[in-house]
Structure 1
Amino acid sequence: MIDVSGFELTPEEIDILDHPLIGGLILFTRNYYNQAQLRDLIKQIREATLNDIVIATDHEGGRVQRFREGFSRIPAMGSIDSLCSKNKLPVTNFTKQLGWLMASELQAFDIDISFAPVLDINGISEVIGDRSFHQSPEQIVTLASAFISGMKQAGMSATGKHFPGHGNVLEDSHVAIPIDRRSKQQIFELDMAIFAEINKRGLLDAVMPAHVIYPNVDPLPAGFSEKWIQQILRTDLKFNGVVFSDDLSMEGAVQMGGIIDRAKLAIAAGCDMVLVCNDPTAAVQVIDGLPIENTINDDSNNRLRSLKHSNTFDFKQLQKSQQYQQITYTLDKLINT
C-alpha cells in the first residue's frame, strides 16, 4: 500500500500504480481539496491500477480525520462518552450511528476502508490520547463494538489498531522506538484483552500491529514478530482477517534495517499488506526490491478482497436518506451547543 503526492496523479504515480505488487493506496489530507476533486482522483486511481486495489484512509474522528470540508465532523472517540452523558443520549446507539456515518460518507467516494477504530487504552501515550474510546477496557469493548457494528451496517470492514496495544507506552512510534516493559500478564490481561474480546465477537476484519517492542513477550516490534502475528494473533486468538503493517517509513520501524528489509521481515512475520507512506523513493525501492513470485500470496489476496466495499450510492443519494439526516442533525446540535 502506497500513497500519492497531491490532488491528482503525476505521470510517475500512474506508472507505479500499474505495478503488480501494488495492492492498496492510502489517502491523506494533502489529497483532498473538495468533493469533486476527490471523486476525480479516486476514479483516476482506479483506472491506473493493474489490481483491484484497496483504497484506504485514516478517518477516525477528532484530530485524525483526513477530509473535513464537506464531510461530517466526527468527534474524537474519547469524547463520545462524556458528550452523550452531558446531552442525555444513549451512548451505544449514538456510537453505532457515528460508525455508520463515517463509513457511509467514505464509501460514497469509492473508498473501501478507514483504518479504524483505535482499540488502544487511553493511558500514558500522547499520540493515542482521545483517539481511544476510554480508559476502561470494558467500556472500550462496548463502544468499539457499537462503532464497528455501525461501520458494518454501512458495508465497511473494521481495522483494529494498534495490536496488542499502544496506549501504555509513552513514546510516539512515528518519531521514536517505543518499548513497553510491562509483564506479559499485564499486556495480555489489559490491552490485548480488548482485541481478543472484539475478535471473539466476530467484529474484526483487519488488524494493524503496533511498532512497539514488548520485550517480555518478544524482542521484535509486534509488526515484525512471528510470535505476535502468527502465534498469538493467528493461532491463540484464532484471528483470520487481514494483517496490515503500520507505515514502514515510521521511526519505530527503522531499527529493522533498510526499507526493503523491513518489508520482507513484515511479510515473513505474517503481514498480508505492508504500508510505505510519505516516502515515494522508498515505495519504489520496495516494489523494485521484492520478488513478485514470492511476495504475492493467494491467502493474503483472498483476505484483502474481503475488505472491498460493494456500495454504489453517491454522496447526494446518501444525504437524502433518513438515517443520514437524523444522525447529522443530532451531531450538528451537539457540536454547536
Structure 2
Amino acid sequence: MPHRSPDLARLAMTVLQPGFDGTEPPGWLLRALGDEGLGGTVLFARNLTDLGHTTDLVARLRAENPAAVIAVDEEGGSVTRLQATRGSSWPGNRALGVGDDVEATRLVAQEIGRLLASADITLDYAPVADVNANPVNPVIGVRSFGADPELVSRHTAAWISGLQGAGVAACAKHFPGHGDTHTDSHHALPTLHASPRLLAERDLPPFRTAVAAGVRAVMCGHLLIPALDPENPATLSRRITTGLLREEMGFTGMIVTDAIEMRAVAALHSPGEIAVRALAAGADAICAGISSPGGENVHELRDAIVDAVREGRLGEDRLAEAASRVLALSGWYAASAAAEARAAGIAARGTGHEGEELGLRTARAAIRVTATGAPTVLSGPPLVVDIAPRLSEAVEPGMLTGLIGAFTESMPGTVGHVVTVETPELPDLSDESRPLVMVVHDARRHPWVGELLARAVALRPDTVVVETGMPGEPSGAVYVTTNGISRASARAVARWLTGDQ
C-alpha cells in the first residue's frame, strides 16, 4: 500500500494562490495562511489603495506566513495593480518593443521590481512572452513586445533580468503562446491553429529564452493547441506542461495556472477538477483570482485535491513535488540579492523622479506620428474626446487612457469628454473651434469606435487622432500612435502635441 502523508490537506493548501475581496485581509485568509499552510495569495487593484497601504497589507499577510508567495499582475502599461488609480509610470511591452532598446526594457522592469520589492511582493505574473501574431488579438495586443519572435525573445530576457535583478520573481506567460488567437480566454476557450513547426519557429522561442534567462516561474495559458494536444487545453495537458515545458525545454521552476475561474476552462470542469487535472498535468500552483466571502471555494479546492490523491487520480508524489516548487520559489525570494534592501525598507525609486523620467523617455521613444502637412503642435487648448471601450478582462475596469488629464497638465484650458459603449455619442462638433483630439484604443477592432472616429474626422478634417492600442490605418490630419496605455505614454504624447517638451 503506497505511503500517505498525514497532512495531505497542508500540501494541497500550499499549491493554492487565491485572491480575495476588499482592502483588508479577511479572517479566513489570515487563518489559512497561519494555521492551514496556504502557500500564497494574489493581489488585485481592488485590494490596494496606495503603496503604503500595500506594504502594510503584505506585512499583515507575512505575519501569518513569512514564506507566503505574494503575487501580482504588474506588467506596466495597461495591466497595473499597484498604480491602477493613476496609470502606470512605465509603458507596456509593445511600446518597449517599438522602441527596441533592450537596456531600456531591463531598466523599466528593474524599476517595476523595485516598486514591488518595496512592498515585499514575491512574484510578478510578468512578462508577457506571447508573440502577437494576430493584430486584432482581443486579449494580448499591446501587452506583447511585438510580432517578431526574435524581438520578443530579447526583450523577454531583458525584462526577466531587470525584474529578478531587483529581487522579485518573474513569470513568463502565457505558455506556449497566446499571441495568434481570436478569442479572449476570459470568455471562452481559444484554439491556436498552428503546426508544430510554426509553433517552434514563432511561439516557443521567447519561452525558450525565458528558461535560458533563469525565469523563476512560467504561467500556462488556457488555450487549445490541436497540434500538441487535440483534447486538453494547455493548462490541463501533460503533453504540453510536462512533456514540452519540463522535459523538452528543461524548465525546473514553478509552473502556475492562469486564473481557473476564466471561462476557457471553467466551462469545461468544476474548479476542483480543474485544479486536480492541472496538477496532474504538471502545474505546481493554482491561481484562483476570485474567492468566496468566507474562503469556501479555497477549501473546496483543497478538498478536491485531497480526495483525488486518496482516490489515486493524483499522485501524492506529484502533489509533494508541486508544493516543493512553490516553497523553492519562496526560498529564492528570501535569499535573493535584494533581500537586505527590502528588509531595510528601501523605497522604490520607480515612484520618484528617476523612475518618472525613465517612463517618459521610453514612452516618447515609442511614439509614431503620421501627418498630412498639418502642424503637429496644437494652436491652443484642445477638446479631447476619449472613446473608451472596455479594454480586456486583464485590465482593471474603468481604466482610461489618461490623455485628458495629461493634456490638461500640459495645456490648461483643455476640455475633456469621455465616450463609452453605454453612451456612444460624440459631443456637438458643428460649432467647435478648438483643436480636436480624438483618442481611441484598438479602433479597427471595435466597429463602433471606428464609426465614431470616421464621423468626427468627416466633420473636422483637422482632427488629431491618438491611437493608444494596435495601430490601424492613419486618419485625421495628424495620426499619433502611443503603442500602449500608461501614465507615461499619456504625458509623453500630450507634451509632444502641445510643445511642452
Q: TM-score, normalised by structure 2?
A: 0.61
Shift in Å, 1:273: 0.8
For 2:146, give the aligned amino acid. H
Task: Trace 1:44-193 onto structure 2 (pairs within 5 A).
Answer: 44-49=60-65, 52-68=67-83, 73-82=89-98, 84=99, 91-124=101-134, 125-193=137-205
For 2:298, give the aligned amino acid. A
1:265-302 CA-to-partner distances (Å, cap 9, x unmatched) read: 11111111111121324323112332298334364245
Task: Trace 1:226-305 onto structure 2 (pairs within 5 A).
Answer: 226-280=238-292, 281-291=296-306, 294=316, 295-297=319-321, 299-305=324-330
* Distance in 2 of aligned mates of 1:40 and 1:80: 32
TM-aligned CA distance change 1:6 to 1:12, over 3 Å: same
* Distance in 2 of aligned mates of 1:328 and 1:181: 41
Runs of 4+ off more than 4 Å: 69-72
The equivalent of 1:206 in structure 2 is 217
* Distance in 2 of aligned mates of 1:177 and 1:244: 18
TM-aligned CA distance change 1:138 to 1:128, over 3 Å: same
1:38 alignment partner, one of 46, 54, 62: 54
* Distance in 2 of aligned mates of 1:171 and 1:19: 40
SS of residue in 2 equivalent to 1:313: helix
1:313 aligns with 2:341: yes
List alignment gaps of at least 5 residues for structure 1: 86-90
1:113-152 CA-to-partner distances (Å, cap 9, x unmatched) read: 1111000012222100000011111101111111111112
For 2:133, give the aligned amino acid. G
TM-aligned CA distance change 1:276 to 1:319, over 3 Å: closer
The equivalent of 1:88 in structure 2 is none
Q: Name which of structure 1's ranges 288-297 and 15-24 shifts more when overlaid on structure 2.
A: 288-297
Q: Contact 1:212–1:221 at 8 Å: present in 2 too?
A: yes
Shift in Å, 1:260: 1.1
Max Rg structure:
2
Shift in Å, 1:317: 3.3
Q: Name which of structure 1's ranges 9-18 and 271-280 shifts more when overlaid on structure 2.
A: 9-18
CA RMSD between the two structures:
2.5
Q: Name which of structure 1's ranges 271-280 and 114-123 shifts more when overlaid on structure 2.
A: 271-280
* Distance in 2 of aligned mates of 1:312 and 1:7: 28
Which has a greater percent of helix?
1
Report the count of equivalent residues.
328
List alignment gaps of at least 5 residues for structure 2: 1-16, 310-315, 365-487, 493-501
Q: TM-score, normalised by structure 1?
A: 0.89
Identity of aligned residues (%): 27
Q: Name which of structure 1's ranges 237-246 and 5-14 shifts more when overlaid on structure 2.
A: 5-14
* Distance in 2 of aligned mates of 1:216 and 1:320: 45
* Distance in 1 of aligned mates of 2:269 and 2:74: 30
Q: Contact 1:249–1:279 at 8 Å: present in 2 too?
A: no
* Distance in 2 of aligned mates of 1:263 and 1:34: 33
The equivalent of 1:330 in structure 2 is 358
SS of residue in 1 equivalent to 2:128: coil
Q: Name which of structure 1's ranges 173-182 and 250-259 shifts more when overlaid on structure 2.
A: 250-259
Shift in Å, 1:48: 2.8
